[in-house]
Amino acid sequence: MSWNGIGRVLLARGSTRFFSASRELRPKEVSLSPEEIQALLELQELDLKLLEYERHQKELPRLIEEIEAPLRTARSGKERVEAELATARTQQRGVESDLASNNAQFKKLQTQQMGVRNQIEFEAFKHEMEALKDRADSLEETGLKWIERMEEANQRLPDVTTSLEQAERLAAEARAKLDAKTAELKRIHDEAAELTAPLIAKVPPQVPTYYRRLRGAGKAPFVAVIRRGACSGCGFRHPAQRMQEIKQSRRMLVCEQCGRIQVWREEEERIGF
């Protein structure tokens, strides 16, 4: 049925809670044939599929982050233990090397001490050797601490390795699931996208324009079937006289309260009562 059909008289009025900027943009009321109403509802069904994919696409970075975050935590947990182990090993080697040169120095002084000629020189050597001995004790103590740290890290290593392997397995599973869901939604999206054009062609041209605005606002349903005299989108009850007009002319109107497109279908009414 064309735009110049029988029921284009009334202008939409009233509150615009759902689609507030739209009052002047609202379409003039237009009579829709049952086929046009059907096309509009089918269009909405397809659009909901398109929107689901669009929403999924927007959500993807967050969903991926949810998968990646525990993996990152497990990875850095293992890296931390490995770094602790490497540090302890390096430090312990440093201590060993210091200890070796300390001992070599001690032995050198010991040999030299045997060749001294007087007590003063002997005491000087003794003093220096005692200092080296003290240093050796302290180095040994430090070396032991690093060995303990190495052992601790070595003990923790299997756990963090297992945790990382587990996190990798879980992440791979979750990622595969997510990829499969994305692919499935895309398949549904692409199928639906191909079917929308012929449906848009089936409704009066002013309807899709307003419909697209509602779709852009994103609050489904955009086309609300009138049930028991009320908008099925927001529950607003249309005045009885208005309902009578709608039924007689099958007008498409917009809900005074939420701005959604209202369609009335006889069969729906039968189910409703």
**Contact residues: Zn ion, CB under 5 A:** 231, 233-234, 236, 255, 257-258, 260
Residue 160 or 214 with smaller CB distance to Zn ion: 214
How far apart CA 163 and CA 219 sit, in angstroms, is: 43
CA atoms in the 13 A half-sphere facing the CB of 115: 4
Residue 15 or 248 with smaller CB distance to Zn ion: 15
Residue 14 or 70 with smaller CB distance to Zn ion: 14
How near is the Cβ of 17 to Zn ion at its closest, in Å? 8
How near is the Cβ of 20 to Zn ion at its closest, in Å? 13
Residue 63 or 234 with smaller CB distance to Zn ion: 234
Residue 27 or 233 with smaller CB distance to Zn ion: 233
How near is the Cβ of 254 to Zn ion at its closest, in Å? 8
Contact 29, 7 (CB under 8 A): yes
Label residue 259 left, alpha or beta by phi (over 0 means left) and psi (-120 to 50 means alpha): left
Alpha-carbon dihedral sign for residues 51, 57, 58, 62: positive
CB atoms within 10 A of CB 116: 14
How near is the Cβ of 7 to Zn ion at its closest, in Å? 19
Residue 40 or 258 with smaller CB distance to Zn ion: 258
Residue bearing tokens 């379409």: 27
How near is the Cβ of 227 to Zn ion at its closest, in Å? 11
Residue 56 or 219 with smaller CB distance to Zn ion: 219
Q: Which of 87, 76, 41, 86 is nearest to 196 (CA)?
A: 41
CB atoms within 10 A of CB 246: 22
How near is the Cβ of 226 to Zn ion at its closest, in Å? 10
How near is the Cβ of 204 to Zn ion at its closest, in Å? 21
